[in-house]
Amino acid sequence: MSVLLDVQDLTVQFTLPRQGLFGPRPVLEAVRQVSFRLEQGRALGIVGESGSGKTTAAMATIRLVEAASGKVIFQGEDLLQLDDAAMRQRRRDVQLIFQDPYSSLNPRARVADIVREPMDLMEIGTPEERRARVTDLFRLVGLRPDQLSLFPHQFSGGQRQRISIARALTTNPKLLVCDEPVSALDVAIQAQILNLLARLKAELGLSYLFISHDLGVVRHVCDDVAVMYLGKIVEMAPREALFDTPQHPYTQALLSAAPSLARRKSRGYVRPVKISGDPPSPINPPKGCAFVERCPKAQDICRRVQPLLESRGQNRVACHFPG
């Protein structure tokens, strides 16, 4: 299978406001040397909690956030080296679905215009062809063509997410970045959108970079999963390997924290792995392992030496004491 996207050592920094009048401007590293590959037709899930840098990493990949260093090789070409005009041309191949179906659609535009706009901008097809394509896309995502002239506020959350998907598919992209696409939706509606995304992936041969905090959703959609913590990937594996044999204590904690129908109050469940505290702030990350402060296995070496991603079975894990 061919590699569609090869991200190498991607780093994103934000400069924070000056502290005091002449104080230094602290630099926050939201994404720290993240590397991953995505093969054509597959879905890579990036899982993490707030502040893990998962969304920033994905946005930097498609240059909606400026990266400080690293490479993003997309179909053999480094996106970070392209000039603005060339990048605008490339955008037809990399599209995006957002989390919030309420703020991701321009409230003052009719939905047909929202879905057609990418073709207008990139001057694809004649006006008739564009109109026909919009109608086709509407059917493809499960909406009715007689809804084309409505405004976004006239749709429910799930329907808006379908419109967002239709807009993303307009230019026949190869890569779709999905940023928490179902976390704002009710569970019953979540299932509708997840099934739609699975069907589109199979039918159109799309590749997904799928950002989520919900392990169940990721397990359902993704072929491979990367777990991020404080700007770094701490574990990466094919789906089954990650869920069945998690190696990093953080992955294990995430799995045992996720609510599950298998754990019943009546049977007095005990969480296999418990961690305390909140995800730390990325402003002053620990020197050694990022997870050290919450890790049940932390030793002295974890405070001093940053662990690197190493292979362990099918998994790649950054931990001094994996397993």
Partner 1 sequence: MSALLEIENLRVAFNTRHGEVTALDSVSLTVNAGETLGVVGESGCGKSITALSVMGLIPSPPGRIAGGAIRLAGEDLTRVSEARMRALRGAELAMIFQEPMTSLNPVFTVGDQIAEAIMLHQKVGHAQAFRDAVALLDRVGIPSPDRRARDYPHQLSGGMRQRVMIAMAVSCRPRVLIADEPTTALDVTVQAQIFDLLNEIQRDFGAAIILITHDMGAISEMADRVAVMYAGRVIEEADADDVLDHPQHPYTRGLISCIPALGKGDTELREIPGVVPPLHRLGAGCAFAERCAHRNGRCDSGKPLLVNHGHHPAACHAVQEGRI
Partner 2 sequence: MTDAVAFKPESPAREAWRMFRRNIPAMIGVVVLSIIVLATLWGTFFFAGNPYEIVWAPHEAPGVAPEFLLGTDYLGRDIFAGLVTGGGPTLAVGAAAAAITMVIGISLGALAGFYGGWVDNLLMRITEFFQVLPTLLFAMVLVTLFSPTLTTIALAIGVVSWPQTARLTRAEVMKIKELEYVTAARAIGAKNRRIIWQVILPNAAPPLIVSATLTIGVAILFEAGLSFLGLGDPNTMSWGLMIGSNRAYILDAWWPVTFPGLAIFLTVFSVSLIGDGLNDAFNPKLRER
Which of partner 2, partner 1, none does residue 9 bind (CB under 5 to 8 Å by kind)? none
Question: CB of 52: closest distance to partner 1 in angstroms?
Answer: 9
* 160/248 with CB nearer partner 2: 160
**Residue at token pair 């749709």:** 155
The interaxial angle of helices 157-169 and 127-140, nearest 10 deg, is 130
* 269/300 with CB nearer partner 1: 269
Which of partner 2, partner 1, none does residue 140 bind (CB under 5 to 8 Å by kind)? none
Q: What are 10-15's contacts with CB under 8 Å, separation 24+?
A: 10/34, 10/35, 10/57, 10/60, 10/61, 10/67, 10/69, 10/70, 10/71, 10/72, 11/67, 11/68, 11/69, 11/70, 12/53, 12/56, 12/57, 12/60, 12/65, 12/66, 12/67, 12/68, 13/68
Which of partner 1, partner 2, none does residue 131 bind (CB under 5 to 8 Å by kind)? none
Query: What is the rounded CA–CA span in Å between residue 312 and residue 314?
Result: 6
Site map (CB under 8 A) of partner 2, residues 38-77, x = contact: ------------------------x-x-------------
For residue 223, the tally of other CB atoms under 10 A from its CB is 18
- Strand segments, DSSP code E, in the chain are 3-15, 27-39, 43-47, 69-74, 77-78, 94-97, 175-179, 207-212, 224-229, 232-238, 310-312, 315-317
25 binds partner 2 (CB under 8 A): no
Total of residues contacting partner 2 (CB under 8 A) = 38
**Hey, is 177 helix, strand or coil?**
strand
Site map (CB under 8 A) of partner 2, residues 147-166, x = contact: x-xxx-xxxxx-x----x--
Which of partner 2, partner 1, none does residue 43 bind (CB under 5 to 8 Å by kind)? none
* 1/188 with CB nearer partner 2: 188
Which of partner 1, partner 2, none does residue 151 bind (CB under 5 to 8 Å by kind)? partner 2
* Eight-class DSSP state of 308: P
Residues lying near partner 1 in the complex (CB under 8 A): 49-50, 156, 158, 186-192, 194-195, 198, 213-217, 219-221, 239-240, 243, 253-266, 269, 271, 274-276, 278-279, 294
* Residues contributing to the site for partner 2 (CB under 8 A): 62, 64, 87-89, 91-92, 94-96, 98-100, 103-108, 110, 117-118, 121-122, 147, 149-151, 153-157, 159, 164, 167, 170-171
